[in-house]
Structure 1
Amino acid sequence: MTTHAGPRTTAPGALARCRASVEPALRAAVASLHPQPRRMASFSLGWCDADGTPSTGSGGKGVRQALAVLATEAVGAPAELAVPAAVAVELIHTFSLVHDDIMDGDERRRHRDTVWKAFGTGPAVLTGDALFALGVRTLAVAGGEHGATAVCRLAETLGDLVHGQADDLLFETRPWTGPGAVGLADYRAMADRKTGALLGCAMALGPVLAGAAPPVVGALSEAGRQLGLAFQVVDDLLGIWGDPQATGKPVHSDLHRRKKTLPVLAAMALDEKAAERLGRLLGSPGPLSTTDAERAAAIVEGAGGRDFALEDARRQVAAARDCLTAMPLEESATREIVALSEYFLDRQL
Structure 2
Amino acid sequence: MTVLPSALPVAPPDRLLARCAASVRPALEEAVGRLHPWVAEMAAYSFGWCEVGGAPADTGGGKGVRQALALLGAEAAGAPARAGVTAAVAVELVHTFSLLHDDVMDGDALRRGRPTAWRAYGTGPAVLAGDALFALAVETLAAEPGGTHGVRRLSAALTDLVRGQADDLVFAGRPWTGPRRVRPAEYRVMAEHKTGALLGCSAALGAALGGAPAPVVAALDRAGRDLGVAFQLVDDVLGIWGDPSLTGKPVHGDLRERKKTYPVLAALASPGPGARRIAALLESGADPAGAAALIEEAGGRAAALTAAREHTEAVAAALDALPSPPGPVAELRGLVGQLLHRAH
Q: Residues 38 and 120 (structure 1 numbering): CA distance in 2 closer, same or farther, change over 3 Å?
A: same
Q: Equivalent residue of 2:186, what SS? A: helix
Instruction: Tell me the residue number matched to 2:20.
Output: 18
* Deviation digits for residues 31-76 of structure 1 (CA, Å, limit 9, x no counterpart): 2222333222222222223343332223111111101111111112
Letter of the 2:329 counterpart: T
**Matches of 2:35 and 2:83, distance apart in 1:** 23
Residues 1-349 of structure 1 correspond to what in structure 2 (within 5 A)? 10-141=12-143, 143-144=144-145, 146-244=146-244, 247=247, 249-270=249-270, 272-284=272-284, 288=285, 292-348=287-343
| Distance change in 2, residues 1:45/1:234 (3 Å) | farther
Task: Assess if the C-alpha contact under 8 Å between 1:109 and 1:249 holds in 2.
Answer: no
User: With CA pairs under 8 Å and 6+ residues apart, which has the higher RCO, 1 or 2?
Assistant: 2
CA contact (8 A) 2:78 2:207 kept: no
91-100 vs 266-275, which moves further: 266-275
What is the identity percentage for the equivalent residue pairs of Structure 1 and Structure 2?
57
**Structure 1 unaligned residues grouped into runs of 5+:** 1-8
Moved more, 149-158 or 311-320: 311-320
Q: Would the alpha carbon gap of residues 273 and 23 (structure 1) be closer, same or farther in structure 2, given more than 3 Å must change?
A: farther
- Aligned residues of 1:101 and 1:107 also touching (Cα < 8 A): yes
Pairwise CA RMSD: 2.1
| Structure 2: stretches of 5+ with no match in the other structure | 1-10
Structure-2 change in CA distance of 1:282 and 1:29 (3 Å):
same
Maintained 8 Å contact 1:109/1:248: no
How many residue pairs get aligned? The number is 334
- Larger displacement relative to structure 2 (157-166 or 257-266): 257-266
Question: Following the alignment from structure 1 to structure 2, what is the Cα–Cα distance between the partners of residues 84 and 151?
Answer: 12
Local SS of the residue matching 2:341: helix
- For residues 289 and 50 of structure 2, the distance between their equivalents in structure 1, rounded to whole angstroms, comes to 35
Q: 1:120 to 1:237 in 2, by over 3 A?
A: farther
CA distance in structure 1 between the aligned counterparts of 2:325 and 2:12, rounded to whole angstroms:
17
Q: Do the aligned residues in 1 keep the contact of 2:263 with 2:301 (CA within 8 Å)?
A: yes
Quick one: distance in 2 between partners of 1:78 and 1:41?
A: 28
* SS in structure 1 at match of 2:208: helix
- TM-aligned CA deviation for residue 209 of structure 1: 1.0
Normalised TM-score (structure 2): 0.90
Instruction: Please tell me whether the aligned partners of residues 87 and 202 of structure 2 are also in contact (alpha carbons under 8 angstroms).
Output: yes
TM-score when scaled to structure 1?
Answer: 0.89
Structure 2 distance, partners of 1:293, 1:53, is 43
Question: For 1:126-160, what per-residue CA distance to the aligned partner results, in whole angstroms no more than 9, with x for missing partners?
Answer: 1211111111111111x21x221111111111111
CA distance in 1, matches of 2:110, 2:278: 26
Q: 1:256 to 1:130 in 2, by over 3 A?
A: farther
C-alpha deviation, 1:187, in angstroms: 0.3
Equivalent residue, structure 2, for 1:4: none
Post-superposition shift, 1:332? 1.6
Deviation at 1:293, TM superposition (A): 2.8
Question: What letter matches 2:304 in structure 1?
Answer: A
| Greater mean deviation of Cα atoms: 223-232 or 306-315 | 306-315
Distance 1:93 1:201, change over 3 A: same
Cα distance in 2 for residues equivalent to 1:54 and 1:311? 45
